[in-house]
Amino acid sequence: MLRRAEFFRGLGDSRSPSSATVLELLFDIVYVFALARLAGRVADDLTIVRHTLLSEAGQTVLFFTALWMIWSLNALLSSTYDPRRPEIQAFLLVTMFGTLVLAVTLPQAFGQRGVIFACTYVVIQVGRPLFLAFALRGHAVHTFSLRVLTWHVASGVLWISGGISGGLGRGVFWTIALAIEMIGAATTYPLPRMGGPQLTSLGVSVSQAHLAERYNQFFMIALAEVVLEAGAAVSFPGFSTEGTITLVASFVAVVSFWRIYFYHVRSGRAATPSGEGIQLSRYASYSLLLIVGGIICTAVGFGQIIEDPHPPIDWALVAIVFGGPVLFLIGRSFLEKDSRDAPRCRALYYGMVALAVAAPPMVLLPPVAVAAVAAVILAGITAYDQRAHKRGSETNPTL
């Protein structure tokens, strides 16, 4: 007991630095592979029979959200407590290996590897609050850790049940389990007789600067997926007129995403928060979920067009190419803080409307033209956003 107290001493009162650590960057390397696996699933979903498209796409969304829950909760952990402490580093490394196992089992998670996927996911999600509950005994945050642990144990039972059952039951169990986790995270894991959802009274503080930097790093990793998908598709069989045009369109999309994400700020307000405290928007994590999901869809769409540039284009591919940027814009707009004095910028909303209006006629155009139109609209949104606001250097999005 004395050794445990000495080893974890000061953990509950430790504070996260304003900058991300090298280990956290190493942790994100696994997600390069995981996002590539998810992109492969999206590409496969576009080639299946239409009457199974909805179920297959639903599975992909479930996996994407589950992996995102792991990443976002670990980012919150390292933004609350000092990630340079050895016990936090050890837990991040264990989670990193577990996430690698999840990514490896992803293609057959609804098949032969369902039990492995479920057990690994439960170990990660239950292990985090269990570790904190053990390490923070005697600290005011201990009760909150038990609340989180209870929620994840409840969802873990459903994850394991789904892995064992297989078939339709697996999807039902896993969907309910993931919904429980998302509701718990959104409501701060309330439980009767174990305290309300408020954390400020427990002395918990989150480094906004650290969390924003973690989000920015993950955004850049997701953005690289567009380059990887387009570049890999062009590499074989090589450059062609259609492939080159789509590659240029992909590059324009990447630049537009980067510019809108980092340079879009509401008029009259800085986007980088300062100081520490629980002032983070509850929607920040879910906003980046939409942003990254939109980028993956865009990457897959451009990659598919490069691989098969011949008309006619499929309506599902049009939905992916234009729906991806719409998801990105929706997620980016949610990162703006509400204020009566400074209303939300309309540039992103105009962009959503432009993409939605332009999408239906695209089924009549060659695939390469569809990619070019999507890139031109994104570039137009970026240019309009730049003219609508006078700004200097880049900024971090508001959290």
For 174-233, write each residue's pLDDT tens digit. Answer: 999 999 999 988 888 888 766 555 555 556 678 888 888 899 899 999 999 998 888 888
Q: Are 245 and 188 in the same domain?
A: no
Q: What's the number of CA atoms in the CB half-sphere (13 Å) around residue 237? A: 6
Q: Are 125 and 226 in the same domain?
A: no
pLDDT surpasses 90 at 53: no
Q: Are 146 and 260 in the same domain?
A: no
Q: Are 181 and 255 in the same domain?
A: no
Q: Who has greater pLDDT, 267 or 54?
A: 54
Q: Are 162 and 263 in the same domain?
A: no
User: Which of 142, 174, 200 is the endpoint of a domain?
Assistant: 200
Distance separating alpha carbons of residues 366 and 368, to the nearest angstrom: 6
Q: Are 228 and 322 in the same domain?
A: yes
Which residue's entry shows tokens 């829950």? 69
> What is the reported pLDDT for 273?
38
In a domain, 346, yes or no: yes
In a domain, 40, yes or no: yes
Q: Are 215 and 180 in the same domain?
A: no
Digit-coded pLDDT (tens) for 9-44: 667 677 888 888 899 999 999 999 999 999 988 888
In a domain, 173, yes or no: yes
**Residue 296 near residue 35 (C-beta atoms within 8 A):** yes
Q: Are 265 and 330 in the same domain?
A: yes
Distance separating alpha carbons of residues 381 and 220, to the nearest angstrom: 20
Q: Who has greater pLDDT, 53 or 143?
A: 143
pLDDT surpasses 80 at 80: yes
Digit-coded pLDDT (tens) for 83-134: 999 999 999 999 999 999 999 999 888 888 999 999 999 999 999 999 998 8
User: Which of 200, 232, 251 is the endpoint of a domain?
Assistant: 200
**Residue 377 near residue 354 (C-beta atoms within 8 A):** yes
> What is the reported pLDDT for 200?
54
Q: What's the number of CA atoms in the CB half-sphere (13 Å) around residue 50? A: 4
Torsion of CA 296, 301, 302, 308, to 10 degrees: 140
271: Cβ–Cβ under 8 A, 6 or more apart, which residues? 265, 395, 396, 397, 398
At 258, phi and psi to the nearest 5? -60, -45
CB atoms within 10 A of CB 62: 17
The model's confidence at residue 389, banded by pLDDT at 50, 70 and 90, is low
In a domain, 394, yes or no: no
User: Which of 200, 229, 247 is the endpoint of a domain?
Assistant: 200
Most confident of 3-7, 232-236, 357-361: 357-361
Q: Are 46 and 87 in the same domain?
A: yes
Residue 160 domain boundaries: 2-200
Digit-coded pLDDT (tens) for 285-300: 888 899 999 999 999 9
The model's confidence at residue 46, banded by pLDDT at 50, 70 and 90, is confident
In a domain, 97, yes or no: yes
In a domain, 395, yes or no: no
Which residue's entry shows tokens 């989150």? 206
Q: Are 160 and 63 in the same domain?
A: yes
Q: Are 277 and 354 in the same domain?
A: yes
ω into residue 237 within 30 of 0, thus cis?
Answer: yes
In a domain, 270, yes or no: yes
Q: Are 214 and 191 in the same domain?
A: no
% of the chain beyond a pLDDT of 90 = 48
The model's confidence at residue 51, banded by pLDDT at 50, 70 and 90, is low
% of the chain beyond a pLDDT of 70 = 82
Q: How many domains does the chain have?
A: 2
